[in-house]
Amino acid sequence: MIEYAVPASTAPPSPEAQEARDGAQAVFLVRPSSFGFNRETALSNVFQKPSPSGVDPILKAQDEFEGLVHKLRGAGIRVLVAEDTPDPPKPDAVFPNNWLSTHEDGSLVLYPMQAPNRRRERRAGIVSELGSDFRIRRVVDLTPHEREGRYLEGTGSLVLDRPGRRAYAARSIRTDPELVRIWGETMGYRVEMFDTGDANGIPIYHTNVLMAIGSRWAVMGTDLIRNLPDRQRIPTLLRDSGHEVFELTPGQIADFAGNILELKGTHGPVIVISRRGLASIGRTGRDFMEAHGQVVQADLDLIETVGGGGVRCMLAEIFLPPRVSSILVTEPVP
């Protein structure tokens, strides 16, 4: 791991916990230019399916993308959009939260990706664009671990309770336990790891498909946690930290009802979910979400089906402080 940081004397004080609890007011998305079925990721992601015949996946994905951006801006969320570069093709570029995360102290973390063709998504130009509007005080680069065959795919692998400084992680080929531990020590989070499995015993590829955490709520597919003590422990931790927990069935997880995100909109909390995910949880689930914020739904049927990821995967939260000129220096991290 390599860390780039400002000198210690200029480091900012820790932010108020409430700042994180309110959710991000801004998000970063990548407009897809070569979206499609990714054969390199399909072995570990059982949610992916080939594109339906007669459908142009790129045009349809772009249409769904624009619909989501429109909905987010209508709810008062600041949306920054970067353009995907078509060469080389990056079928999963629409999911930037797997290679980048930002944090309230000005940290930006770069993550090691399991599929070689997904590593192309990390672009210095995108980081520079963020740095033009927001202050990046530290870059934590975990990408060298790719050479060792160890991966940690951002806030896909890690579901964060930011004010509680706790990270939840389901072990998989894309979520290496040792990297989770290193991340927790570096970022000052306590980590909670557990094992998952579907009906065929295949691990859920990303934690954020299984669960989501809002300011005062959480949703999760507890039945997909393999170990009985963990099946009891994880919901208890969430409840003890002040979250009302809504249990999701494996079928609802397959419809991406757990792949959702709370943001801070013009009039308070906004819970972003796909049309399919919202339909799968019915009136009871919708009532639960509406009790905690404004529900914003987007039609992402093709992106979910072909890409095997949902709305949360498309949203990289921006928690960086407003831009102030600074000089970054390079420091090695043991």
Whether 12 has a pLDDT exceeding 50, the answer reads: no
pLDDT of residue 322: 81
Is the distance from CB of 314 to CB of 94 less than 8 angstroms?
Answer: yes
pLDDT of residue 187: 97
Q: Where are the domains of the chain?
A: 2-332
The model's pLDDT over 245-296, given as tens digits with 9 standing for 90+, comes to 999 999 999 999 999 999 999 999 999 999 999 999 999 999 999 999 999 9
Q: What integer is the mean pLDDT of 136-150?
A: 97
- pTM comes to 0.91
Q: Where does the pLDDT of residue 22 fall: very low under 50, low under 70, confident under 90, or very high at 90 and above? A: confident
Least confident segment among 15-19, 164-168, 245-249: 15-19
DSSP state of 259: S
Q: Where does the pLDDT of residue 327 fall: very low under 50, low under 70, confident under 90, or very high at 90 and above? A: very low
Stretch (H or E) spanning 64: helix 57-74
Class for the domain spanning 2-332: alpha beta
The residue among 122 and 325 whose pLDDT is bigger is 122
> What's the burial of 265, exposed, middle or buried (CB within 10 Å: 0-12/13-18/19+)?
buried
Whether 320 has a pLDDT exceeding 80, the answer reads: yes
Whether 2 has a pLDDT exceeding 70, the answer reads: no
Helix ranges (DSSP H) in 204-331: 207-210, 228-240, 250-254, 275-290, 301-307, 311-314
Q: Where does the pLDDT of residue 324 fall: very low under 50, low under 70, confident under 90, or very high at 90 and above? A: low
Is the distance from CB of 47 to CB of 203 less than 8 angstroms?
Answer: no
DSSP state of 118: G
Whether 113 has a pLDDT exceeding 70, the answer reads: yes
Residue 51: how many other CB atoms lie within 10 Å: 18
In 3D, which of 57, 51, 64, 28 has the Cα closest to residue 298?
A: 64
CA neighbours closer than 13 Å in the CB half-sphere of residue 210: 32
Cα separation, 205 vs 170, whole angstroms: 8
Cα separation, 166 vs 267, whole angstroms: 27
Q: Where does the pLDDT of residue 4 fall: very low under 50, low under 70, confident under 90, or very high at 90 and above? A: low
